[in-house]
Chain A
């Protein structure tokens, strides 16, 4: 009935976690159904919507089309991992402040894609932000307030004299 399970050691949000999962499971399945990290969402299960976006070694990656086994040896960051003992990530705050959240379902992926963008380019322009978020569909906002939220985070980053949450 159930296929044999693989035991994987994944590095998720700063911790090594070992999980047993069928070999064909995606990273999204392991995150949601084995590790209880349900912040990563499933919207299409085929890489079209971006709701499952996580960061793999700091780069935005679609976890629904990434095999869990392929994430072994890489640093996985989910939306839950952006919250540290110092509080929320800047982007989590600016999305809240700017009203960039309506239903909220695309937001974990959207925020992680934005984080990856700003980590790479802390002073990203609006066009660069648009480019970075092109794989993340939002059906509620028309993106306007999302762009504003990311821009606000770039300004804050500048004011703080650093590029990211480093």
Chain B
């Protein structure tokens, strides 16, 4: 390994403190214990079953309370004044007329909350409201709280802002080139927010030793999360000086920290609650302006304040998928072995850093599996532009380069005359290995994923035989199950769970995790029910409330099932062990003979001897103490020994293979996708219904990005389509038939062997469709989205210049 130090001015986070092996309480304290994939009892009773979600009935009946469903007595309505200019200095703000309007209770500007924050603490470049300048159309400038929305909107019109216009940089290449315009003054590297170069092995040598080389430019456009629920927050400042924020966030813990820093009030005086959440997909994983404004205005007015973003504001708040311009070069040997990959990526970050530091690393670091990549070099540069800020969207940072790589792999396969699935088989990295950039791969079922999609799509009998205009394409990918890069450096656990046992037999689990629809509350309930041998109905989950629940870092990086799942096993197993001990003593037998299953505690050697679990809890409480426990999880030390080596280092990786079928209308350029087959290795599927839902939802989202969705601005920086009529997310009529299947590779460290399922399956959808289009009509589309105009242009170009056939012993480009 030959990693070059990236140009990084910031110190890397300190390594985690090694576990003290002489610590006599190590077995109790160590948060990174491994439970293994086996069931806690004789067989799984809950895990692996097709169960309902714990909150499904409440959602199906409309009972479930989302943030906008909260109405507090005396509640005011907040509205945000936004910049009409893409780049301007604020000379003056006069709010006096707005404050004088009847019905207005409070106005706030950036001067009152000047503390900078950022979800990544190394790059704090946002303020709750613009302080000195605005950096994109829609940048929040001031906020108002009034008796109703109409009054608040009228008040916004009365706020006078004097702007001095600055040149707007809307193109990332221009932003990189221009030294005379700086979007963030004081940034050491002009408009560059992050630049990373890492090389592993020697790509030049690898290319020289290749029989086939391909080199091409690729473009991934911007796309938005578009959750059906927009951002919404409600704040209350009580007479006890406790500030409570209910917010549609997927990172309540980071919001808690940011509120304390920006509002200047002690963190214990703040309570953050995440109610039911109407979709997020990464779009709610930064602290947002409305959260600070609701709190500040609640403090100023002493009345509860609600902010509900309109759909248009949602598009401006953004943090969607980063547009990337990518140059990729890859080599293959005659027998189909990948020799090396090199990429040069320009990332359009929009106006603020958000997760951009991580995005820049992820654009390179997450590409080194499931295909063995002996030599690899990437150079990624993220720049600021005067556009809505980009951030993490499902498959953060790696969906874009994966698109390029998987197309290159197919191009190489064509040159070498090898079947695209076969070329991926030949490069399969296997399990229990280390990637070229130092990532530890444990379980890996990618080969089985390939088998499944090959069989399901009837690839062997149908590919190449579907007739002109119809084709099949394949792609593969990997993704993280959480990462050991904690957003702020600390040695504490990444996930925590607390269990309380009631004398009724009810077990309440307090989980810090954010259920954003993926079902994390259900997963926690299944695990605790499994461990304690109970019905899921007797387990209740209280989640994402900073007053009640232990800290979990949030719903991002596909970390929750793995990390919170392990924490839940940890906590539940303490109770389980205590119950076994107490019952064993009462019965005068060894604790190993005591089992918990089916709502009973019984003697394994004399099954007639049993107690209902609730009675066993009572017996245990009587013998010991009030029953309760905590559980936690922390990652082991992972990652390459170089700067940035921990970013993208995950305790386990998921793998996906996808085959897409397309039908290209060569007259109109329209493309139909009748079927998408996705097979995902998620380790043990804790509930296959939920896993299938994640696979189908991921494939759906990828499909939308290929053809329908385009988050872009016009030449003034105004969003081109900030509504759901023009920003077209797929409807029921647009979608292919999604066929999901599961591979269970049983990870040695995951909870019962589970890994992630929420983000990985999105990745290969997009290149699989691109590769299917080549199979259908011989064109390589490399610039997303694939509009009919691009298809027709590529078809015309192909007719004018038929691609050269590869010479048998030469190299073709």
A134 adjacent to B732 (CB under 8 Å): yes
B311 adjacent to A99 (CB under 8 Å): no
Cα–Cα, bound, A78→B63 (Å): 12
In the complex, how many angstroms separate the beta carbon of A62 from the nearest chain B beta carbon?
Answer: 12
Chain A residues, Cβ within 8 Å of B148 = 2
Cα–Cα, bound, A108→B652 (Å): 37
In terms of DSSP, what is the predominant structure of the interface of chain B?
loop
Chain B, residues 33-51, CB within 8 Å of chain A (1/0): the string is: 0000000000000000010
Cα–Cα, bound, A60→B637 (Å): 55
Chain A residues, Cβ within 8 Å of B55 = 104
A88 adjacent to B60 (CB under 8 Å): yes
Residue with the greatest number of chain B CB neighbours at <10 A, chosen from A2, A136, A143: A143
In the complex, how many angstroms separate the beta carbon of B656 from the nearest chain A beta carbon?
Answer: 15
Which of A4-12, A46-54, A66-74, A158-166 makes up part of the contact surface? A46-54
A137 adjacent to B724 (CB under 8 Å): yes
Chain B, residues 725-743, CB within 8 Å of chain A (1/0): the string is: 1000101110101101000
B627 sits at the interface (CB 8 A): no
B57 adjacent to A42 (CB under 8 Å): no
Q: Which residue of B lies closest to A129 (CB)?
A: B732
B246 sits at the interface (CB 8 A): no
In the complex, how many angstroms separate the beta carbon of A145 from the nearest chain B beta carbon?
Answer: 6
**Cβ 8 A contact of B226, one of A103, A111, A139:** A139
Chain B residues, Cβ within 8 Å of A106 = 228, 278
Chain A residues, Cβ within 8 Å of B63 = 39
Chain A, residues 77-118, CB within 8 Å of chain B (1/0): the string is: 011101100001000110111110111111110010000000
Given the known A-B contacts A1-B103, A41-B66, are A83 and B61 also in contact in the complex, defined by CB atoms under 8 Å?
yes
A44 sits at the interface (CB 8 A): yes
B581 sits at the interface (CB 8 A): no
B228 adjacent to A43 (CB under 8 Å): yes
Total CB contacts across the A-B interface at under 8 A? 174
Cα–Cα, bound, A91→B384 (Å): 48
In the complex, how many angstroms separate the beta carbon of B756 from the nearest chain A beta carbon?
Answer: 16
Given the known A-B contacts A2-B148, A79-B61, A103-B279, are A140 and B731 also in contact in the complex, defined by CB atoms under 8 Å?
no
B69 sits at the interface (CB 8 A): yes
A51 adjacent to B56 (CB under 8 Å): no
Chain A residues, Cβ within 8 Å of B71 = 33
B732 adjacent to A139 (CB under 8 Å): no
B684-738 residues with Cβ-Cβ distance < 8 A to A are: 689-690, 692-693, 696-697, 699-701, 723-725, 729, 731-733, 735, 737-738
**Cβ 8 A contact of B102, one of A1, A39, A45:** A1
B465 sits at the interface (CB 8 A): no
A138 sits at the interface (CB 8 A): yes
**Cβ 8 A contact of B57, one of A88, A105, A145, A147:** A88
In the complex, how many angstroms separate the beta carbon of A119 from the nearest chain B beta carbon?
Answer: 18
Q: Number of B residues contacting the other chain (C-beta, 8 Å)?
A: 62
Q: Which residue of A lies closest to B50 (CB)?
A: A99
A145 adjacent to B693 (CB under 8 Å): yes
Chain A, residues 120-138, CB within 8 Å of chain B (1/0): the string is: 0000000001110111111
**Cβ 8 A contact of B278, one of A38, A79, A103:** A103
Chain B, residues 44-78, CB within 8 Å of chain A (1/0): the string is: 00000010110111111111111011010000000
A43 adjacent to B311 (CB under 8 Å): yes
Chain A residues, Cβ within 8 Å of B103 = 1
Cα–Cα, bound, A140→B230 (Å): 14
B227 adjacent to A103 (CB under 8 Å): yes
Chain B residues, Cβ within 8 Å of A129 = 732
B60 adjacent to A111 (CB under 8 Å): yes
Cα–Cα, bound, A99→B702 (Å): 21
A105 adjacent to B725 (CB under 8 Å): no
A142 sits at the interface (CB 8 A): yes
Chain A residues, Cβ within 8 Å of B731 = 133-135, 137
Chain B residues, Cβ within 8 Å of A101 = 53, 56, 59-60
In the complex, how many angstroms separate the beta carbon of B559 from the nearest chain A beta carbon?
Answer: 18
In the complex, how many angstroms separate the beta carbon of B316 from the nearest chain A beta carbon?
Answer: 15
A143 adjacent to B732 (CB under 8 Å): yes
In the complex, how many angstroms separate the beta carbon of B32 from the nearest chain A beta carbon?
Answer: 30
B794 sits at the interface (CB 8 A): no
Residue with the greatest number of chain B CB neighbours at <10 A, chosen from A1, A2, A51, A82: A1
**Cβ 8 A contact of A48, one of B65, B280, B692, B724:** B724
Q: Which residue of B lies closest to A104 (CB)?
A: B59
Which of B214-222, B499-507, B512-520, B779-787 makes up part of the contact surface? B512-520
Chain A residues, Cβ within 8 Å of B723 = 44, 46, 48
B62 adjacent to A108 (CB under 8 Å): yes
Q: Which residue of B lies closest to A51 (CB)?
A: B228
B490 sits at the interface (CB 8 A): no
Q: Which residue of A lies closest to B56 (CB)?
A: A96
A40 sits at the interface (CB 8 A): yes
Chain B residues, Cβ within 8 Å of A44 = 311, 723-724
B151 adjacent to A45 (CB under 8 Å): no
In the complex, how many angstroms separate the beta carbon of B53 from the nearest chain A beta carbon?
Answer: 7
Q: Which residue of A lies closest to B308 (CB)?
A: A42
A48 adjacent to B311 (CB under 8 Å): yes
In the complex, how many angstroms separate the beta carbon of A149 from the nearest chain B beta carbon?
Answer: 10
B697 adjacent to A105 (CB under 8 Å): no
Given the known A-B contacts A33-B71, A105-B229, A142-B738, are A40 and B697 also in contact in the complex, defined by CB atoms under 8 Å?
no
B398 sits at the interface (CB 8 A): no
Cα–Cα, bound, A140→B226 (Å): 10
A18 sits at the interface (CB 8 A): no
Cα–Cα, bound, A142→B738 (Å): 8
In the complex, how many angstroms separate the beta carbon of A26 from the nearest chain B beta carbon?
Answer: 12
B368 sits at the interface (CB 8 A): no
Q: Which residue of A lies closest to B225 (CB)?
A: A139
A143 adjacent to B279 (CB under 8 Å): no
B60 adjacent to A95 (CB under 8 Å): yes
A45 adjacent to B310 (CB under 8 Å): yes
B61 adjacent to A142 (CB under 8 Å): no
**Cβ 8 A contact of A82, one of B53, B61, B689, B733:** B61
**Cβ 8 A contact of A104, one of B50, B517, B738:** B517
Residue with the greatest number of chain A CB neighbours at <10 A, chosen from B308, B690, B731, B732: B732
**Interface pairs A-B: 9 shortest CB-CB:** A39-B62, A103-B517, A105-B278, A104-B59, A142-B700, A99-B689, A79-B62, A48-B724, A38-B69
Can you offer 6 A-B residue contacts whose CB atoms are under 8 A?
Answer: A102-B279, A103-B516, A105-B229, A134-B733, A139-B228, A144-B737
Q: Besides the contacts A39-B62, A46-B723, A133-B732, what 19 more A-B pairs have beta carbons closer than 8 Å?
A: A1-B151, A32-B69, A42-B308, A43-B230, A43-B724, A44-B311, A44-B724, A80-B61, A82-B61, A104-B278, A130-B732, A134-B731, A137-B724, A139-B279, A140-B693, A141-B697, A141-B700, A142-B701, A145-B693
Query: A residues engaging B (CB < 8 A)?
Result: 1-2, 32-33, 37-46, 48-49, 51, 78-80, 82-83, 88, 92-93, 95-99, 101-108, 111, 129-131, 133-147
Query: B residues engaging A (CB < 8 A)?
Result: 50, 52-53, 55-66, 68-69, 71, 102-103, 147-148, 151, 225-230, 276-281, 308, 310-311, 516-519, 689-690, 692-693, 696-697, 699-701, 723-725, 729, 731-733, 735, 737-738, 740
